[in-house]
Every structure is written in C-alpha cells, then in structure tokens.
Structure 1
C-alpha cells in the first residue's frame, strides 16, 4: 500500500497574512520586509543583504550624529537650539505647515444665485459656529458651517457678500490681519488689501 502524503506546511506572513512566498506581490511588501528577514530569511536572500547594509548605514549615521553633537557641545555654544518638530504623513512625506490665511470665494449657482465661502478663520482661533451666526446676522442671510471638498470646515453664506466681508472680518476679529485675507477670482488667489 502507498504511503499517505504529508500535508504541506505553509508559512504565512505575520504582517499581510499572505503566504510568505507571495508577500512581494501583496500591497504591503515594504512593511513585510522586516518580518520576512527575521522569520523567512531563506525565501528572500536579497532582503537579508539589504537589511545588513541598512543596519551598517544606521550605525554609521548614529556615530556621525553623536560626534557632531559632541563637537558642538565642546565648541562652547551655550545656546541650545531645539530641533523643529516635523510632522510626517504615512508615506514618509513631510507635512507642510498651514499658512494662516482666510480665503473668500464666490461660487455662482443656478445662473444668478451665489454662495460666498469663507475658509481659514479657524486658524486664527475663531470659532466657526459663532462666526457663521455673526455673518448671517450682519448680512441678513443664511450662513452655515459645512465640510468642504478637502474635509475641512468652511462657512457658506448665501448671496454675494464679498463687497463688505473683509471690513467686517477685520473689525469683528482683530486677530485676523487684512494682509492675511485673499479672494479667489478666476481661479487665482488675489490679496484683499
């Protein structure tokens, strides 16, 4: 009688859940690499070489940074500069700081009706719900806080109030300088001043 075949043992990746042989075709191969180097070095020998080279680079970078730090400390510099904290996005890209500016845009709908949107007041410490109430009362129209296309909150005011809004904003909220207010006209940002 023939021998019973033994079941095949498959090593599944602890990061993506795919069999380890298929990690390179999965969506998170970069995240899987450290796990593969540690748990399945025979499947991807190139990764093992890269990992050793990366570790050597990290050690040399650490040695250089400590020697630079020791060199600056021994040079007699008493002022300590705090490194600027940089926010990084998930892909490793650096997040840009938001400019403190108020952007006013008039959007025409149904041929003659228009909506004026005000973006960026929250960057100056203005509570948007209070600002929308004040704008609605001042211009005798409807105003509400809505999420814009970039998932940021903005104030939508019914009607074209762009003629008087700059003066109203600078008088009501003195923290907002007139130089920080811009209009969007024909797709271009134009200073209000």
Structure 2
C-alpha cells in the first residue's frame, strides 16, 4: 500500500505575503530582500553572494531598525494596511451611508440602510429608533456582502435622510447616498 503524501510546508514572506519563492514577482522585491536573506537564504543564494560582509551588517541593521520602528510606533495607534494575497492593498471603506429601496411582491417595499456603523453608530439602537420614528418594523440583518445593514419595512427613503442627520449629527448629509436604478445618487 502506498504511503500517504505529506502536506507541503510553504514559507510565506513576512513583507508581501506571497510564497517566498515568488517574492521577486511581487509588488516590491527590494523590501522583501532583507527578510529573505534572514529567513530563506537557500531560495535566493545570489542575494547572499551580492551582499558582502558589510552588506550583511546593513541588512541586519535594517531588519532591527524596522522591528524597532514598529515597536516604537505601537504606543501610538497606527493604521494598519490590510494586504490581500498577491500583495495588493485593500482599500479602506469610505464613510458613507447608502439607502436603497427594494420592492418585493410588487407592492411591499423595504428600505435598506448601509454604512451607519462606519460612523460609530450601534445598529441595534439605530434600528429601534428608526422603527419607533416611522412606526414600522426595523431589524439588523446581514447583507449579501456579509456586512450588517438595517432593513426598514416601507418606503421611507426620502424621509430617512432628515431623520439620520437630526438624530446623529456626526453623519453629514453629503455622506448619504441613494441607489436609484443601479446608480449611486447623492441625497443632498
């Protein structure tokens, strides 16, 4: 009987997130070189040949300075950049509230409010206030993108803008948008 194959252990670059043997094809190979020299010297032996004794000291100094600078910056909240596979940088979400009216069964409407949580508003409290104000059902649900949103029964799309700006003053009217016919339209 044949032996069961063992899983392959892949070393991922600590800088770009790609497998170490693909770093040279990544977004910034120069930033990966010090990490590769220290953690995967067998993959790129030409990096070690090109780096003399003085260069090795520079590389170790560079690695220490990056670790020190990252430790020094930890006392102050630092915005972390999210990297996707392949080294692409994930964009930060814009702070905007998107209101969409969805019709179902040709008569019933649901108004969907997305993005209130980006302004620091608790969605449960917001759904209760919306339900009381418009005397209708409102609930927090997960949308198709796995983000939480508020579904309010009824067509309250144009009344809701004034309510949001009055109730939560930190939400500017310029940050509220409607989805009409598949296009994003400003509420102001």
Superposition TM-score tier, normalisation by shorter sequence = 0.5 to 0.7
Judging changes above 3 Å, is the alpha-carbon distance between structure 1 residues 15 and 112 closer, same or farther for their aligned structure 2 residues? same
Residue 148 of structure 1 corresponds to which residue in structure 2? Answer: 143
Residue 9 of structure 2 corresponds to which residue in structure 1? Answer: 15
Are residues 1:52 and 2:45 paired? Answer: yes
Q: CA deviation at 1:31?
A: 4.4
Residue 123 of structure 1 corresponds to which residue in structure 2? Answer: 118
Structure 2 CA distance, aligned partners of 1:51 and 1:10? 31
Residue 107 of structure 1 corresponds to which residue in structure 2? Answer: 102
Alignment deviations for residues 54-110 of structure 1 (CA, whole Å, 9 cap, x no partner):
6678979x76x96xx9xxxxxxxxxxxxx9642212442211011000000000110
Aligned residues: 145
**Structure 1 unaligned residues grouped into runs of 5+:** 1-6, 17-29, 35-47, 70-82
Residue 167 of structure 2 corresponds to which residue in structure 1? Answer: 172
Q: CA RMSD in A?
A: 3.6
Which structure carries more relative contact order (alpha carbon 8 Å, separation 6+)?
Answer: 2
Q: Is 2:21–2:43's contact at 8 Å kept on the other side of the alignment?
A: no
Higher-Rg member (1/2): 1
- Structure-2-length-normalised TM-score: 0.64
